[in-house]
Amino acid sequence: MQNLIIEAALLLFLIGTTVSVIVLKDLLSATFVYCAFSYCAVLLYLMMGSPDVAFTEAVIGVVSTIYFVVALKKLDRWCK
Amino acid sequence: MKKKYGSSVLDISFRIITPFTLIYGVYVYLNGEISPGGGFQAGALLAVGVVLARLIMGAENKIYNVSGRSAVILAGVGTFIYALTGWVTMLRGGKFLDYGFLPFAIGSHGGHMWPALHATGILFIELGVTLCVMMTIIDILDVVVERTDIE
């Protein structure tokens, strides 16, 4: 029962972060919210019992966040 | 502390996080048999260490930097290590990646699979995967950064 509650909360947080990544006008904020999405996915993978996938997701979340932030040097920060 | 890179937060986090990440990457690679992790994760961790040093210290540091050209070459070398492991077993009479035919004296009897030999073969393959993934990530970052620096 406790596991179900925690999993439901994580899933709700996952949906919230996904919607806010789409809605946000500030691309830098969207990048960091995407990082939060990645770590939420890490916790979900851990709860479902696959630490290998969780480890990969954690590392790749860091790498993709770095890529997005570096690419934002060229782009405009605010999308119209 | 002789020289600071930006602010003190960046300086201290660089001095702690980068060596820890690099050593943890090597640990994940060597311990991948019995714990979560493996070649891909170890390569990504090593690349994160190098990329953090690159982002904090800039392209002119000589300690942790890998230039774009050598990154491409080393990615090819990693793929070649993977293929070479398979070719060595083929030349000795087995199939592709048939670890029982590896030329090590841990105990191979005509292609019969022994656990120690199997682990050694996996170790070589993971070395190739680690090198390829690490250098590819570094090269992608190098391309993105240089493209933003030009304009």
Q: What is the pLDDT of residues A1-47, one digit of tens each?
A: 888 999 999 999 999 999 999 999 999 999 999 999 999 999 999 99
Q: Taking CA B142 as the corner, what is the angle to CA B56 and CA B18, rounded to the nearest 5 degrees?
A: 35
Grade residue A56 by pLDDT with cuts at 50, 70 and 90: very high
Domain that holds residue A66: 2-71
Q: What is the mean pLDDT of residues B124-135?
A: 93
Residue A46 within any structural domain of the chain: yes
Domain ranges of chain B: 8-150
Residue A61 within any structural domain of the chain: yes
Grade residue B111 by pLDDT with cuts at 50, 70 and 90: low
Cβ of A59 within 8 Å of Cβ of B45? The answer is: yes
Cβ of B38 within 8 Å of Cβ of A66? The answer is: no
Q: What is the mean pLDDT of residues B16-41?
A: 89
- Written as one letter, the residue type at B17 is I
Quickly count: other Cβ atoms within 10 Å of residue A12's Cβ.
11
| Distance from C-alpha of B72 to C-alpha of B59, rounded to nearest angstrom | 17
**Cβ proximity of B28 and B42 under 8 Å:** yes
**Cβ proximity of B22 and B43 under 8 Å:** no
Cβ of B40 within 8 Å of Cβ of A74? The answer is: no
Residue A80 within any structural domain of the chain: no
- Which tokens go with B91? 């030349």
Residue A48 within any structural domain of the chain: yes
More confident residue, A73 or B6: A73
Cβ of B144 within 8 Å of Cβ of A56? The answer is: no
Which of A55, A70, A71 faces B41 most closely, judged by CB atoms? A55
User: In A, which residues are within 8 Å of B142 by CB distance?
Assistant: none
pLDDT at B38: 84
**Residues forming beta bridges with residue A78, ordered by sequence position:** A26
Grade residue B1 by pLDDT with cuts at 50, 70 and 90: very low
Q: Taking CA B10 as the corner, what is the angle to CA B6 and CA B16, rounded to the nearest 5 degrees?
A: 140
Residue A37 within any structural domain of the chain: yes
User: In A, which residues are within 8 Å of B55 by CB distance?
Assistant: 66, 70
Our CA dihedral for A58, A61, A66, A72, rounded to 10 degrees, sits at -160
- Which tokens go with A71? 């690419």
pLDDT at B9: 85
pLDDT at B151: 47
For B54-103, write each residue's pLDDT tens digit.
888 776 777 777 888 889 999 999 999 999 999 998 998 888 888 877 77
Distant-in-sequence, close-in-space partners of A64: CB < 8 Å, separation ≥ 6: A34, A38
CA distance A54 to chain B (A): 9
| Distance from C-alpha of B57 to C-alpha of A50, rounded to nearest angstrom | 36
Cβ of B144 within 8 Å of Cβ of A66? The answer is: no
CA distance A46 to chain B (A): 12
The domain total for chain A is 1
Q: What is the mean pLDDT of residues B19-47?
A: 90
| pLDDT more than 70, % of chain B | 86
**Cβ proximity of A2 and A10 under 8 Å:** no
Residue A14 within any structural domain of the chain: yes
- Which tokens go with A26? 């500030």
**Cβ proximity of B141 and B89 under 8 Å:** no
Chain A, nearest residue to B41 by Cα: A56
User: In A, which residues are within 8 Å of B36 by CB distance?
Assistant: 51-52, 54-55
